[in-house]
Structure 1
């Protein structure tokens, strides 16, 4: 188990691409933790998710409420897996450890290809995770599709 999937956004915004990825995670039967670094940015993402930007309704909440443990998708800045997630999604440069990636069903690093800082953070995460022996895949958007560009063993 445990691989890190890097999703390089070059055509879509996070607000457009993330609901699609989250929908696929729920279809797989996974509970999801979306980990960010900035509560204000997560709050904006929460609003976008409630607008229904994705293919279907995505039940979710922001950490700090009374029902965090019940949320199928929990947006948080903490590293505590309150909702017993088997899929962890890093946005806005949030850190993933190799230990949590190895125990998850899926870990994703979703980053903005038009932001040099985000790209560098993703490169650093790739080096850190693969250096610790974590399997990783790198996917980039091409012509409206995800195309696998690299994979480690």
Structure 2
């Protein structure tokens, strides 16, 4: 059964949180896809992941580049899975895909954005209706993740 994790971003933005989550996934030998709501967001995340840390290298590419199937982390604008990812990160309020091909779906949303919070609530209801194993994570005052549900 696919685990569906909801990450409620309150203290740190997506750009600060996503690299660490991707690094942890790669440490577990999981291939990942990050589904974005627009090409502009995809391109911004792509640029950010090349420069977020001088001490780290996060191998990745986008679905606009050749050979997306070779990327351990693929940043995409569709629900396709050309790199055979086992973990799918969902940002910008995108719809939940069929969970069957994945070990994990990770839904990240900005708690300071009312539209994203409303979309997350809808996605939670959809995931619950699927009978999926759901967890809800929220940042504490130190920016650490605390399981709330």
Q: Which residue, 102, 106, 109 being the options, matches 1:108?
A: 106
Question: Tell me, what secondary structure is at the counterpart of 2:8?
Answer: strand
> What residue number does 1:137 align with?
135
Residue 46 (structure 1) aligned with residue 46 (structure 2): yes
- Aligned pairs (5 A) from 1:35-74: 35-53=35-53, 56-74=56-74
Q: Which residue of 2 aligns with 1:122?
A: 120
TM-score, with length taken from structure 2: 0.94
Distance verdict in 2 for CA 1:55–1:13, change over 3 Å: farther
Contact kept, 8 Å, 1:4 with 1:135, in 2: the verdict is yes
TM-score, normalised with respect to structure 1 = 0.92
* RMSD, aligned α-carbons: 1.4
Residues 24-77 of structure 1, C-alpha deviation per residue, up to 9 Å, x if partnerless?
111111100100111101111111111034972110011022120000000111
CA distance in 2, matches of 1:144, 1:30: 24
* Gap regions ≥5 residues in structure 1: none
Which residue matches 1:24?
A: 24
